[in-house]
Amino acid sequence: MECVTTHSSFPLEGTFQLYGQKNGRCVVTLDPSELAVTRIDHDTKGERRQTIKTGDIVGCVCMKGGEKEQRKHVAFITVYAYPLFGSPKKKGRRKRLALTIEVGQKESFEENLDIANRWRTTLLQVVRSRGQGCQQIDRHKKLLVLINPNSGPGKALQIYKKQVVALYGEAELKHEVVVTERANHAFDLVRTLDLNLYAGCVIISGDGLLFEFYNGLLQRPDWQQAIQFPVGIIPGGSGNGLASSIAHWQGEPYLANPVLVSTLNQVYGRVSPMDLVLVQTPEGKKTLSFLSLGLGLLSDIDIESERLRSLGETRFVIWAIARWANLRKYKATVSFRRVEGRNANFHKTRPVLERSQTVEDEQATETTGTHERLLRSSSTVPESSRLSNSSFDLTSSLVKVECDPAGQQQEIEVGEEVLDLESRVNHNQGAADNHNKNNGNSEVGRGEEEGEDNRLLPEFSETLPHDWETIEDNFTVVYACYQSHISSDATLAPNATPNDGIIWLLLVRGNATKANVLKFLLGLDGSHLNIPGVELIPVDAMRVIPRTAKGTLTVDGEVIPWGPIQANMLAGKGKILTR
């Protein structure tokens, strides 16, 4: 549900000229829901009104003419938006739209720039106030961006440089980049990192780097509060289950452009609660999980296909065929506490996303052509995934103008990129201890918090409570997930949402026919729930004791030692960046 703040001073209206258009005279109107441009056609004496939803706008900059611009008194405003293109009956896709308006009513550039700045300030207030009333990141702080250059097919760093940095630039989102250099780099980094320096952390990788991040936080003395640090995810690996799950929950067209859809979540800066799960072993080792845990066919495919990681998510399809041809069965005791009143049946109804009137297909073609001279992209990314390779995607004819706090104009050449690549690690443990106080969260005693987290979990040696159920059988699959997807196109629990408080426990019994197991693998879109031998049970605590001598046990796609495990839900303890 979107949180919107109303404004009493609207609508705001002015008459301007569309940049680069012969008959571009227009009336621009802004209200909390949309930016409307009504073009005035003097030949036909008609009008044409186009709108951009304010919820699709990411940024706005003021500019002045460069050396090629002869009208030195004119100021320019460029609005960047990512509306939905395509038929309302289909999901469509989000594409970049840049609208540039000339402000030239006054005789001096300074006066026109003042008008442009007032529009820019008001527009950004509208865009950024849409989430006030919901928790938001602190925009005065920068985001920490962690990139694993070796994740999956090894394109995460390229994704950042060619796609992410352009959108961050348009949104004027401050960030600091750390490229991981080894396994457990992120794990070691965040154990002593001063979190108060950052608004949140964005992971550009597969799900494995986020697993490292969370379990590094788990090692901190303030871990109960640290695990609530806002995180964002941009798909850059083989398994991109969390990114796909968030888009599924929001009804966003993820597969059309996964990176763009995911990056927009950080730009808008809203913080939504996300479930985490605490996994324990008899030896007392604890692991924090955000996606899944399990054994059997799905875990075997995930880990054994690592040798094909250069193929990206295609590796899972290839290895699924190999494993299906040689099915394994695992004897295990599975115990769980069922959540009553929750239905695992799949419903295909999704939210309907609003489209701006500017982005009907026939209008989109005209808009793109109109601004082609000003708005050229030098990106080499395929059209379906393209973001600008330059921070503002402008030719040298215009120069961005900013004002410092003292009101002095500053000229910044378009495309200038400055990144702080220094990782700021505070090795003073006191910085971590002070995180609770400084980030505005109330302190909770560790013993009290741990008692709450463990309220559903008896010791392994103890008898299970009466409200737990136990199944002892041969299984082809024992897999629990807390998000809808375990990869971009594998929907394990279609009705799962990031904050439903449920561990969705999937069981495929050993007596399932080979034909039904194949249907299961081919039908991971929700239809697999109708296959005989497949069960999806909503639980909030569980225990798995393998009775087979060896096998592969995974948490969030990472291998942990084979043996008994138990897990319980930490409802809403995580925080995820969303639209």
Residues serving a catalytic function are 207
Q: Is 341 left (phi over 0), alpha (psi -120 to 50) or beta?
A: left
What are the backbone dihedrals phi and psi of residue 41, each rounded to the nearest 5 degrees, phi first? -95, 105
- DSSP conformational letter for 540: E
CA angle, 259 then 63 then 414, to 5°: 50
Q: How would DSSP label each residue in 470-510?
A: EEEEEEEEEEEESSSEEETTEES-TT--TTS--EEEEEEET
Judged by DSSP in three states, 266 sits in helix
Is residue 247 within 8 A of residue 531, CB to CB? The reply is no
Question: In sequence order, which residues have a C-beta less than 8 Å from that of residue 472 and are 6 or more positions away?
Answer: 331, 332, 333, 334, 547
- DSSP conformational letter for 314: H
Q: Which residue has the tokens 């987290």?
A: 453
Q: How far is CA 224 from the centre of its chain?
A: 23
Q: Is 158 left (phi over 0), alpha (psi -120 to 50) or beta?
A: alpha
Q: How far is it, in rounded angstroms, from Cα 26 to Cα 517?
A: 61
Q: Which residue has the tokens 């010791």?
A: 459
Judged by DSSP in three states, 142 sits in strand
Q: Is 145 exposed, middle or buried (0-12, 13-18, 19+ CB in 10 A)?
A: buried
Using CA of residue 340, residue 250, residue 506, residue 330, what is the dihedral sign?
A: negative
Integer distance in angstroms from the first to the last C-alpha of the chain?
Answer: 10
Token pair, residue 419, equals: 């990144």
Cα dist from 468 to 52, 279, 286, 545, whole Å: 52, 17, 22, 15
What are the backbone dihedrals phi and psi of residue 170, each rounded to the nearest 5 degrees, phi first? -60, -35
- DSSP conformational letter for 407: -
- DSSP conformational letter for 380: -
Question: What is the bridge-based pairing of β-strands 553-555 and 558-560?
Answer: antiparallel
Beta bridge pairs of residue 144: 176, 201
Per 3-state DSSP, the chain is made up of helix, strand and coil in percentages (nearest 5) of 30, 30, 40
Cα dist from 578 to 7, 135, 387, 427, whole Å: 23, 11, 19, 31
